[in-house]
Amino acid sequence: MIQSHQNVLTNPYEYQGNHSFLLEYMDKCKKGEIIIGHELKIQLDKLLDYFEDDEIKIEFDDAQKRMHFIENECRHFEAPFSGQPFLLDLFQKAFIEAIYIFKIYDDEAGRYVRLHQDVLFLVARKNGKTPLISAICLSEWFCGEMGTKILCSSNDYEQAGLMLEAINAMREESKTLSKVTRSNIKGIFFGNPKKPKKRGKFSYQNKGHIKKISAKTGAKEGKNIKVGAVDEVHELADNTSIMPIRQALSTQDEPLFIELTTEGVVNDGYLDGRLKEARQALHGEIDRPRWLIWMYTQDSESEVWQDEKSWHKSNPGMGTIKKKSFLRKMIEEAQTSKSMRVYVMSKDFNIKQNNATAWLTPDDIKNEETFDIEMFRNKFGIGGVDLSKTGDLASARMILLDPDTNKKYTIQKYFIPESKLETLTKEDLNKYKEWIREGFMEVSPGNENDFSLVTKFYLDLYKNYGIRPYKVGYDKWSALYWVKEMEEFGFECQKVSQEYGSMSEAMRLVEADLKSNLLVYNDNPVDKYCFENTALEMNSKMEMRPIKVQGQDNKKIDGAVTNIIAYKVYIDNRNEFMQLARR
């Protein structure tokens, strides 16, 4: 817990004649007026100790100058705050003070320098993190020394551009700032084009600039910057884009490296390692005195569901920046959708979600309804295949629609190479043999799946029941010869990539239909097995795709994949297919 020191008790908000927003924030957190998580409490305890540390000098000038600059020169540029002054919340002022007020003597520089040179700012989405860091960067550019160079970075150029655009929008909103600066496609620079001969800090003479760079941009070495700000750190797979930026700060006496992010959905990425290090530093397991670790995190996932007040722990801007009603809506959706739950827990509450979690619950999967294939004699369907020569199962599927109930009925067949049966565990072998006896699975002789058996599945449906595929979706893997064979029989095929953008919408619809009992898979045990083994993987755009549950590489998900592929074809051709289904 935050401790009370003697000089703080006299007047908790004053220190050396200065009003300290950091001390005010600490005091209100201690009293419970502001709710924060345990990890931020640990950091605040460390900062409070600095006020009693003889080796640390407390100076408020740099922090006050930057806060005054932000509130008087910066304006918001996005609705609903567009055009309004950038009035800092208490938590934002406390954060800025924590960066700037603590000084330590540096023997190499021969003077006192800023203690915190690395900053990790972890906060849930829509709490104003990018505008805040953008405002700090702009204030550093104007209030710092002449020649200050700032680099905005992220995983991709577009995201890096968001911070630069925020900085530039604030610059343009101020008549004072826009008069002495200019911007172009390369970045933001000092100097008024109408007064090119003017001298001084706010002229062409000042070679300081603000530019952007991304993880995908080459030639990052060789730069010499004072401030590096990396947005959406959670998207980075490794530190290859981070280290050149940190290296570019190495010549400065008082560099400032800021990482800002929410929790992520990238597994074993850069942020996972960084947060592990940060937590070790907070608990004293490693020594990182120059690192300010400012993390708004929940203490448990259970409190998110049980106590709305706890939401402040990861959302310090709730009520002023972020609406509580928005969070309530997200929680309601997360209760009924696994994909939404993964996204909301990670992005709105900074709780890391493990991709080993299954995509569907047993209740979602359970559907014992069966049907007679004769219901769909002479009807059109939509096909989906997942082809594998040797490793996984090969799976073929036909989805048929009842336009009156909007229910989708699926006919499926699985294929496995004969040699693959020899590698199965005793438990799996008994299960597979039962599926083969019952006709759910067919064995291909030898070491490879015979794709002509997949073609025969569709031909038999047409010959025996008059059921014809409108289109058959397939992944590009190992499919070229098979597609040619299908087209020779007059079956049209559509390529469906197993990537986020292609899989996401279809995967959500499969999930929704299963929950609503609108997808009837004829109580097929192999389908059920595949659904149980399927996990979801999400990216930062809230797009999802199916993967195997982590640590269960021997399990199969092919049946789930063919459902998703067929649904993708259905979504892309919904209007035409609905007309055919009504015939």
Q: Which domain holds residue 206?
A: 6-329+341-347
Residue 334 lies in a domain: no
- Assigned domain for 335 exists: no
CA distance 252 to 71: 27
User: Is 336 a domain residue?
Assistant: no
User: Which of 294, 320, 347 is the C-terminal boundary of a domain?
Assistant: 347
Strands 149-154 and 14-15: unpaired
Whether 95 is covered by a domain: the verdict is yes
CATH of the domain at 560: 3.30.420.240
- The number of distinct structural domains making up the chain is 2
- Domain-ending residue, one of 299, 314, 347: 347
For residue 131, cis peptide bond before it (omega within 30 degrees of 0)? no
CB 545 within 8 A of CB 536: yes
Q: Are 398 and 383 in contact (CB under 8 A)?
A: yes
Residues 315 and 387 in one domain: no
Specify whether 398 is located in the same domain as 301: no
How far is CA 428 from its chain centroid? 36
Enumerate the H helices of 6-106 as residue ranges. 6-10, 21-31, 38-50, 61-73, 90-100
Q: What is the C-alpha separation between 330 and 320, in angstroms, rounded?
A: 18
Neighbouring residues of 526: CB distance < 8 A, sequence distance ≥ 6: 393, 412, 414, 435, 440, 441, 559
Alpha helices in 268-401 (DSSP H): 270-282, 302-306, 324-336, 338-347, 362-365
> Which pLDDT belongs to residue 222?
43
pLDDT per residue as tens, the chain (583 positions): 344 444 444 566 888 889 999 999 999 999 999 999 999 999 999 999 999 999 999 999 999 999 999 999 998 887 788 888 999 999 999 999 999 999 999 999 899 999 999 999 999 999 999 999 999 999 999 999 999 999 988 776 676 678 899 999 999 989 999 999 999 989 999 999 888 878 899 999 999 999 988 655 544 444 788 999 998 888 887 887 788 888 888 888 999 999 999 997 777 788 999 999 999 999 999 999 999 999 999 999 889 999 999 999 999 999 999 999 999 999 999 888 877 888 899 999 999 876 556 788 888 999 999 999 999 999 999 999 998 766 668 999 999 999 999 999 999 999 999 988 888 888 889 999 999 999 999 998 888 888 999 999 999 999 999 999 999 999 876 678 899 999 999 999 999 998 999 999 999 999 999 999 999 999 999 999 999 999 888 877 778 899 887 667 778 999 999 999 999 999 999 999 999 988 8
Among the listed residues 448, 451, 457, 443, the one whose alpha carbon sits nearest the alpha carbon of residue 480: 451
User: 305 and 423: one domain?
Assistant: no
Please report whether residue 372 resides in a domain.
yes
**Whether residues 264 and 370 fall in one domain:** no
- Are 529 and 556 in contact, with CB atoms under 8 Å apart? yes
Query: What pTM was computed for the model?
Result: 0.76
* Residue-level pLDDT at 214: 67
User: What does the pLDDT read at residue 391?
Assistant: 60
Phi, psi dihedrals of residue 350, rounded to the nearest 5°: 55, 40
Which of 182, 187, 229 shows the shortest CA–CA distance to 204? 182
Sign of CA dihedral 186, 188, 190, 191: positive
Residues whose CB is less than 8 angstroms from the CB of residue 307 and which lie 6 or more positions away in sequence, other chains included: none
**CA 380, CA 449: separation in Å to the nearest integer?**
27
Provide the pLDDT for residue 182: 95
Instruction: Say yes or no: 306 and 378 in one domain.
Output: no
Pick from 347, 373, 398: which residue ends a domain? 347
Question: Would you say residue 467 lies in a domain?
Answer: yes
Kind and range of the H or E run holding 154: strand 149-154
Q: Which two tokens stand for residue 332?
A: 């309601």
Give the domain CATH number at 224.
Answer: 3.40.50.300
Has residue 356 been placed in a domain? no
The verdict on 480 and 574 lying in the same domain is yes
DSSP label at residue 89: P
Structure-block tokens of residue 5: 């020191």
Euclidean distance between CA atoms 94 and 9, whole angstroms: 18
Asked if the structure places residue 296 within a domain, the reply is yes
Measured CA distances, 188 to 138, 148, 179, 232, 456 (Å): 10, 12, 13, 22, 64
Contact assessment for residue 318 and residue 308, using Cβ atoms and an 8 Å cutoff: no
Pair 546, 405 in one domain: yes
Is residue 563 a contact partner of residue 472, using CB atoms and an 8 Å limit? Answer: no
| Chain centroid to CA 217 | 20
* Residue 298 and residue 426 share a domain: no
pLDDT at 507: 95
Q: Which amino acid is at 469?
A: P
Q: Where are the beta strands (DSSP E) in 336-436?
A: 380-386, 394-402, 407-417
366 and 257 part of one domain? no
**Both 427 and 521 in a single domain?**
yes
Same domain flag for 370 and 323: no
Q: Do 292 and 372 belong to one domain?
A: no
Q: Give DSSP secondary structure letters for 249-262.
A: TTT-SS-EEEEEE-
